[in-house]
Amino acid sequence: MAGQKTRQWVLSNPPAGDPVLSGDNPTFSLETKTLDAPGADQVLLKVLYLSNDPAQRGWIDASADPARLYTAPVTKGDVMRAFGVAEVVESNAASLKKGQLVLATTGWSEYAVLAAKECRPIQPDDKVGIRPTHFIGALGGPGLTAYYGLVDVARTTASDTVVVSGAAGATGSMVVQIAKHIVGCKRVIGIAGGEKKCRWVESLGADVCVDYKSPSFKEDLCKATEGYVEVYFDNVGGEILSLMLQRMKRFGRISACGAVSTYNSLGSSGVQNWFEIIINRIEIKGFIVTDAIEAGKSGEMIQKIVASVKEGKIKIGADSETIVPTAFEDIPKTWCMLFSGGNQGKLVTEIKE
Amino acid sequence: MAGQKTRQWVLSNPPAGDPVLSGDNPTFSLETKTLDAPGADQVLLKVLYLSNDPAQRGWIDASADPARLYTAPVTKGDVMRAFGVAEVVESNAASLKKGQLVLATTGWSEYAVLAAKECRPIQPDDKVGIRPTHFIGALGGPGLTAYYGLVDVARTTASDTVVVSGAAGATGSMVVQIAKHIVGCKRVIGIAGGEKKCRWVESLGADVCVDYKSPSFKEDLCKATEGYVEVYFDNVGGEILSLMLQRMKRFGRISACGAVSTYNSLGSSGVQNWFEIIINRIEIKGFIVTDAIEAGKSGEMIQKIVASVKEGKIKIGADSETIVPTAFEDIPKTWCMLFSGGNQGKLVTEIKE
């Protein structure tokens, strides 16, 4: 049987600052390739949805030192790495039937050939509103990241007041809900960009959500954190982190999850107010969700989230995802919405036929 | 009995950047005052030595928010706060005899009247080389800070490689010695300014000490930390901290003790390479030595240091202190040596008659 023809987005110029989507030296290039036919225990996948994750920016950075990355970088000429939800269209593996939906590292490709063991079968459940895309969102990496960073890394308990930045993002919106509805935190404060997102974050359970785009942001944040806070879940780094160092209680804990505000910046201004860490004995811990998976904790964590979804406490409705129907040639453009705050909840690329 | 006349240095203009020692708006002003005679359970002290500590800069900062400081700030018009070694010259307290040496918060003053309970009697011991000034150095705050930050905060064990900045300072030189001679660390790397200091740090037990004033500093530090390190004891903050974030092993620990490189800077460039904290799961913990004291740990810690001094492992010879005989009117000038790297080991002001 002839191999499947597919289009693929390849990393052509690792970016130092903003990814470049046009011109002579674009970050990504569109190529067409004929895949090998699937071999023994392999499957041919058709990609339906792509996961857009801020972490992907780290994998392609021009200055990335492979020795320092937690995963191999994507190098020049590689297909851009991404998680995807895909359908098995051809199978040489007993464990995966044609038509099965799977989660896999498909990359930015229309089709992919992978070993069956690299594919995780998923079971959406219409009755409780669990859709295929939830496995790359609330019930996937972002949900797990939220649970692990909040409960394990920051050791958050019900008596804590928690602040989370990027609160309208895939991970942040789950942090808000897990803090409020699973941990039962005293007070949960979100930080997000724009009125609409802030009100949405409050609808998820945040006691208040502060708009970082507002001219009164600094004062609003001070007011929202009067009396200071025990836990800060940081998705953004940069200026908001510098401000939050001044809003931590003595012996407060910061879960350092991401720094999306800085991923595309060259010569950023760095983190200010370091002295607060010393005089207020702040603890900061960086983490990567794969640590939870390797420690065998992910199953239990996802079960707790699913239980809470079924009880109607954690909301994963349509407004918790921004699903962008995208022509294959526009995949990089949709991905870049991550860095302009274009999404509410999980940003998903739905590949248009 | 008439009160004792004394000169005192008073905080007249809390500094925002470098302390100003001359001109129309100096940071400190010299005043003369007559003290009240000591009352019941009080003593009159004559100050012999003053402790110079980077932390003092934090107590007087113009932008300090009293709600965020771990101790009350020194405010405009107050005598500049400092620890001192003093002699009891008049006593109304049964517990303290005339002639007794004590450790107390005397401030920058020739004489001070204090309650006996605010004075800690000290017992120098010539036979083992323990001098009065050691109680504000190796056997005082700096020694305790080193022990607590290294052993309790960073949980350093013998299998760890440790880097310490400010390694020729009062605290840093004790970190080097405690790491090597008490904890028994595999490898201890100092960072200090200048050839002479670096060789001295190596004489204390560091496997290597890297000179931050050398044009090849960055390369030298990379070479010294090949294979990366588990623990960084940070006394300086700023650029060296930013570099060290790239030299930490996965799950490495940073003890955030001080940031002397930034105390006098306005609009500093901030801490760079924050992303390393995330991708390499670095833990950072700020601490203040008073936490060890309040937790009742200081006695045991100092005993361990004293035992190691008596065994000849930890060296507290004359080269571990920079004792500067200082006319009373030059006290601020001697203090400022802290910020120009002027001292090797503990910087002590000896008040000249």
Task: Identify the residue among A63, A232, A285 best suited for mutation to test binding to B, counting B beta carbons within 10 A and taking the highest.
Answer: A285
Please identify, among B272, B291, B310, the residue that sits at the C-terminal boundary of a domain: B291
Task: Identify the residue among B240, B255, B284, B290 best suited for mutation to test binding to A, counting A beta carbons within 10 A and taking the highest.
Answer: B284
Query: Same structural domain for residues A51 and A152?
Result: no
Token reading at A70 = 């937690």
The predicted pLDDT at position B166 comes to 96
Position A253: which residue type? Answer: R
Query: Same structural domain for residues B285 and B150?
Result: yes
- For residue B314, being part of any structural domain is answered with no
Query: Same structural domain for residues A26 and A117?
Result: yes
- Which residue among B246, B274, B291 places its CB closest to the CB of A237? B274
Q: Considering only residues B71 and B214, tell me which one the structure prediction assigns the higher pLDDT.
A: B214
pLDDT in tens, B38-63: 999 999 999 999 999 999 999 999 88
Query: Same structural domain for residues B286 and B146?
Result: yes
The predicted pLDDT at position A65 comes to 84
- For residue A219, being part of any structural domain is answered with yes
The predicted pLDDT at position B267 comes to 57
Query: Same structural domain for residues B285 and B153?
Result: yes
Percentage of chain A beyond pLDDT 70 is: 99
| Residue stretches of chain A with pLDDT short of 70 | 1, 266-268
Given an 8 Å threshold on Cβ–Cβ distance, is A272 in contact with B277?
no
Residue of chain B nearest A283, judged by CA positions: B285
- Judge whether B290 is closer than 8 Å to chain A, CB to CB: no
Backbone Cα Rg of chain B: 21
ipTM: 0.93
* C-alpha to C-alpha distance for B317 and B154, rounded to whole angstroms: 27
The predicted pLDDT at position B68 comes to 86
The predicted pLDDT at position A266 comes to 64
Query: Same structural domain for residues B83 and B119?
Result: yes
Nearest to A60 by CA among A101, A26, A94: A26
Q: What's the number of domains chain B is made of?
A: 2
Measured in angstroms, the CA of B65 and the nearest CA of chain A are apart by: 10
Q: Does residue B264 carry a pLDDT above 80? A: no
- Judge whether A285 is closer than 8 Å to chain B, CB to CB: yes
The predicted pLDDT at position A69 comes to 85
The predicted pLDDT at position A83 comes to 97
Query: Same structural domain for residues B131 and B145?
Result: no
- Judge whether A269 is closer than 8 Å to chain B, CB to CB: yes
Query: Same structural domain for residues B148 and B171?
Result: yes
The predicted pLDDT at position B294 comes to 92
Percentage of chain B beyond pLDDT 90 is: 90
Measured in angstroms, the CA of B58 and the nearest CA of chain A are apart by: 9
Contacts of B282 in chain A (CB under 8 A): 284-286
The predicted pLDDT at position A341 comes to 85
Query: Same structural domain for residues A63 and A167?
Result: no
- Judge whether B283 is closer than 8 Å to chain A, CB to CB: yes
The predicted pLDDT at position B103 comes to 96
- For residue B312, being part of any structural domain is answered with no
- For residue A271, being part of any structural domain is answered with yes
The predicted pLDDT at position B146 comes to 98
Task: Calculate the average pLDDT of chain B.
Answer: 95
- For residue A326, being part of any structural domain is answered with yes
The predicted pLDDT at position B227 comes to 95
DSSP A98-163: TT-EEEE---SBSEEEEEGGG-EE---BGGGTB-GGGGGTTTSHHHHHHHIIIIIIS---TT-EEE
The predicted pLDDT at position B256 comes to 97
CATH number at residue B29: 3.90.180.10
pLDDT in tens, B91-132: 999 999 999 999 999 999 999 999 999 999 999 998 889 999
CATH number at residue B162: 3.40.50.720
Measured in angstroms, the CA of B96 and the nearest CA of chain A are apart by: 34
Contacts of A243 in chain B (CB under 8 A): none
Are A63 and A266 within 8 A, CB to CB?
no
Contacts of B250 in chain A (CB under 8 A): 70
Query: Same structural domain for residues A130 and A167?
Result: no
Query: Same structural domain for residues B157 and B277?
Result: yes
- For residue B187, being part of any structural domain is answered with yes
Q: For residue B1, what pLDDT band results from cuts at 50, 70 and 90?
A: low
Contacts for A316 with CB less than 8 Å, ≥ 6 apart? A129, A130, A134, A137, A138, A139, A309
- Which 1-60 residues of chain B touch chain A by CB within 8 A? 58
Query: Same structural domain for residues B128 and B150?
Result: no
- For residue A103, being part of any structural domain is answered with yes
Please identify, among B291, B310, B330, the residue that sits at the C-terminal boundary of a domain: B291
The predicted pLDDT at position A98 comes to 97
pLDDT in tens, B220-236: 999 999 999 999 999 99
- Domain range enclosing B105: 5-137+320-351
- For residue A47, being part of any structural domain is answered with yes
SS3 label, residue B10:
strand
